[in-house]
Amino acid sequence: MSQKKIIFSGVQPSGNLTLGNYLGAILNWIPLQEEYNCIYSIVDLHALTVRQVPAELRKKTRSLLALYIACGLDPEKNVLFVQSHNSAHAELAWILNCFTYTGELSRMTQFKEKAQKHADNINAGLFTYPVLMAADILLYQADLVPVGEDQKQHLEITRDIAQRFNNIYGDVFTIPEPYIPKVGARIMSLQNPEKKMSKSDENPNSYISLLDKPDVIMSKFRRAVTDSEAIVRYDEENKPGISNLMSIYSSITGKSYGDIEKEFEGLGYGDFKTAVGQTVAETLRPIQEKHDQLMSDKAYLDNIMKDGAQRAEGLSYRTLRKVYKKLGLVPRS
């Protein structure tokens, strides 16, 4: 790879990818492929922290790769690969576990939330989830990590772990920076705008799946929870529902909140919801068509996975070897 800056990010192949994942993460990856060396993973090992149905996980992994491509990621320009295809991730994660304190892991908001939600399965993987994420990023010496707002804390712990390691062993890891979009970094649930939109929500009306058909999208937006003021105005605190719809509309159209307020002046929420629904449905239609077409070509997707895994392995091997050497592990002859 050339001396361009390195970008790493990933999405879990659990549940249906939502509009939140798209606007908070993937949409921002698209322009980066022209300027940076980008590596995007389908982080299937992370998905195992919650019980998965094997056949579904397999299908969702392929479907996520198809979505990456359908959203506009060029498999030639970017390294697209499945995390479990490169064993270096699990290897480095073990090492970094030995440089991470249980105290700092127990402060992670996502862990606390997931532990509450899956009280019958608070496994050690759920606890050390951020360490595997640190391994993902540090293996490739990533400079920037484009993610949604909810991942900021995991980026901070990644930086802490890297700095701690570097302080002992010298400059082994690049310290990565988060890259969070100004609009769309935290898309909220359509049913409860105090909560983030999540693919694991039990109520499907709370999220838009990237594979939802236009009539479903329209009906979900029509039912979105708003307020009784009937004025399209951005006010996150007092009008979280409308503000959320405005941020969805703004991130897709590029219009400012001021422009949107003017566009819908004197119109009711019904008109606004219809416009947001139509914009989302029109954005997703070509993505869905491409996704479906790619899903019928298993050999093509398998080839991309194979090529991506080889490239990912090649890139991460250097870091892993250096880490082993610094730690005093005897190289295998």
Q: Does 10 bind ligand TYM (CB under 6 A)?
A: yes
List all residues 6 or more positions away from 78 whose beta carbon is below 8 Å from its beta carbon: 29, 33, 38, 39, 40
**Count of CB atoms situated within 10 Å of the CB of 103:** 7
**Count of CB atoms situated within 10 Å of the CB of 163:** 11
**Count of CB atoms situated within 10 Å of the CB of 15:** 18
Whole-number Å distance between alpha carbons of 184 and 149 = 9
Nearer to ligand TYM, 24 or 193 (CB): 24
Nearer to ligand TYM, 24 or 308 (CB): 24
Q: Rule CB under 6 A: which of 170-199 touch ligand TYM?
A: 185-187, 196-197
Clarify whether 220 is annotated catalytic: no
Q: Rule CB under 6 A: which of 39-58 touch ligand TYM?
A: 43, 46
Clarify whether 77 is annotated catalytic: no
Can you tell me which residue has the tokens 């990023």?
Answer: 137
For helices 109-117 and 124-139, angle between their N-to-C axes, nearest 10 degrees: 140
Q: Rule CB under 6 A: which of 98-137 touch ligand TYM?
A: 133, 136-137
Shortest approach of ligand TYM to residue 7 CB, angstroms? 10
CB 189 within 8 A of CB 206: yes
Whole-number Å distance between alpha carbons of 14 and 50 = 9
Which of 4, 5, 59, 199 is catalytic? The answer is: 199
Shortest approach of ligand TYM to residue 321 CB, angstroms? 21
- Contact stretch for ligand TYM (CB under 6 A) within 16-24, 119-127, 229-237, 301-309: 16-24
Which of 60, 114, 239, 273 is catalytic? The answer is: 114
Query: Among all residues, whose Cβ is closest to ligand TYM?
Result: 24
Clarify whether 199 is annotated catalytic: yes
| CB-count exposure of residue 109 (10 Å: 0-12, 13-18, 19+) | exposed
Q: Which active-site residues does the annotation give?
A: 114, 196, 199
Residues that bind ligand TYM (CB under 6 A): 8-12, 20-21, 24-25, 43, 46, 133, 136-137, 145, 147-148, 150-151, 154, 185-187, 196-197
